[in-house]
Amino acid sequence: MSTGHGSRFDLNRYDLATYLVYLLAVAFFIFPIFWVLSMSLRPEGDVLTYPVQFIPDEITLAAYEQVYGPATTWLWNSTKIAVLEAIGILLVCVPAAYAFSRFEFRGRRHVLFGILLFQMISPVVIVIPMYSVMNTLGLFDTHFGLILLYIGLQVPFSTWLLKSYFDTIPDQLDDAAAIDGCSRLQTLWHVILPSMLPGIAVVIIFNFVFSWSEFVMAFTVLQSSDLFTISVGVFAFQGQYSTSWTLIAAVSILAILPLIVMFVALQRYFIRGLTEGAVKG
């Protein structure tokens, strides 16, 4: 009996320690968000006062009223770019990943290795060459050019991720579809992709978040304020001699909300995709 009570006590103590770690991790990530929210609800002159109060004495929506106009445009730009980039990634990477997973051809390993090497290159390193290329092609200061740039940057990661999911699907499904008279394209569309939905959801979420939060390339390519993404828009409120922290905080909260809504809506697909990929891998 004593052994049973001891093991139960140890288990409860382990659970308590686990929940404590979870609580600290959640607080570590949630506290900055609540602090920015608190800052966005303060009057302009109440930001840098001491002692610092987490809950302001006076709550106002003046900062949101000031940023509502430009922030709406920037949020729409970010949404359009992120959605089109995710669609473009799927159109390019799904056939490529399927081919790498199912076909054996000369140079296959070298191409995969080259894709992996390209993924290791930091976007900051290629900012200047990309600026020159975009300017030469007439794609500078356009959303279309930025979308193409994002697709090119995310192709290596997305191809490798989708290939790992294709590898978990048995080749027997392809053979059975071929016996039934399906072409390769029909097999991919009607047989393989329905089993790939969790993996596709993971790729979409990763690429959407990347496009939404990316700053360096967007800041380099886009110059017109009406074309800014939300990440560049937040930086636009940074003044040369003074900075309105309440406006920056308000725009930051508006930038975070769509990502939170998207993750809450798609979290079961995201978690399922990550779990299945890990278990099958």
pLDDT of amino acid 1:
46
pLDDT of amino acid 159:
93
User: For 107-143, b where at least 16 C-beta lie within 10 A, e where not — what string?
Assistant: eeeeeeeebeeeeeeeeeebeeebeeebeeeebbebb
Closest to 214 (Cα-Cα) out of 147, 132, 156: 147
Helix (H, G, I), strand (E, B) or coil at 192: helix
Please write the tens of the pLDDT for every residue from 107-161: 888 888 888 888 788 878 888 888 888 889 889 999 999 999 999 899 999 999 8
Architecture of domain 64-280: Orthogonal Bundle (1.10)
Residues of the chain with pLDDT under 50: 1-2, 7-9, 277-281
Say if residue 51 is preceded by a cis peptide, omega within 30 of 0. yes
pLDDT of amino acid 71:
92
pLDDT of amino acid 2:
47
